Structure 1
């Protein structure tokens, strides 16, 4: 999902600058997207130290392999999200394999990993929404408020609250359907359901 400050043109230009070895391009990318990468890694790994380490690894990969990003396949933000998600899920699987819990089989651990990965993916999609839609969903859905309460809290009409909620949910459904289609269109799904 494209945001205002991450246009396809910006993505392509940044990728070319990275390919030329421009350190300022990496700094610009880091400044814009490191919070998203770190947040996603932190939600999956539930460990801020591991999330910080993974964030460094993801940006090191981008620096060393800028050609891995194909602007024709989607946004740089989506690609970094998919890369982060995949690596975080791999790390979580390795951690769970190294420290098996008594009485829990591999199936239960894998189910837990998929649940964590799915929740992180959903939060990533919500975070990708434009601010007014994200805010309306947060107040209405996450806080469990009515449209009337949401409208009053946000200083908008009830009709505007309903429209924002409906548009936000439609965008979420579209994004998740596209992710599902990409997953079933060529990936094996081993990344917890997120492809890039």
Structure 2
């Protein structure tokens, strides 16, 4: 597994290779991050064909505009995740507007928030992710979680608390970015789009 120091170097190398037009860089990027992009798009759109189409568009954008990625603002994973989230929500809004469904905006926000929560949980370190999955998603007590994971009940509580704190921080940061994007300056998603 890559250390935190290695991840940005890989991201920057792939960005430079994409800028030079190296198709192998696109293949490497796709192989590593397409499952995350497709999964996030699928959770938001609820349509696998639309998710596959959006996945192709996201990687086409990375190929055509590698300069939009700013390594100082995060990783390629986070950039592609934010770009996917943004475009999928736009598609969902357009689809709902076309359907003229009442309450569509609330539904879109709920679906987008659920997808974002799942994305953040999936990005947590394995011990935190599995503790949240067992405790929250499976509805187990801390005692049951500790027994299943082979850890102390105190460790289960600490992992759950840290995981939820990280989740809350990431969601608050996301809300701040969305609020910044909605104020007319167009700089909220880091993708260079307005």
Q: Give me the TM-score of the superposition, normalised by structure 1.
A: 0.87
**Which residue in 1 is equivalent to 2:90?**
90
Superposition map of 1:64-143 within 5 A? 64-101=64-101, 104=102, 108-143=103-138
TM-score, with normalisation over the residues of structure 2?
Answer: 0.88
Deviating runs (4+, > 4 A) in structure 1? Answer: 3-6
Alpha carbons of structure 1 residues 189 and 41: separation in structure 2 relative to 1, 3 Å: farther
After superposition, the C-alpha distances for 1:121-173 in whole angstroms (9 at most, x for unaligned) are: 11111111011110100110111111110011112221221121121112112
Work out the CA distance in 1 between the residues paired with 2:166 and 2:119: 13
Alignment of 1:39 onto 2:39:
yes
- Structure 2 gaps of 5+ residues are none
Residue ranges of structure 1 left out of the alignment (5+ in a row): none
How many residues get paired?
A: 185
- How far apart, CA to CA, are the structure 1 residues paired with 2:104 and 2:144? 40
| Partner secondary structure for residue 182 of structure 2 | coil
Bigger relative CO (Cα 8 Å, ≥ 6 apart): 1
The CA distance in 2 between the partners of 1:89 and 1:134, in whole Å, is 25
**Alignment partner for residue 182 of structure 2, among 175, 188, 194?**
188
Paired with 2:183 and 2:49, the residues of 1 have a C-alpha distance of 27
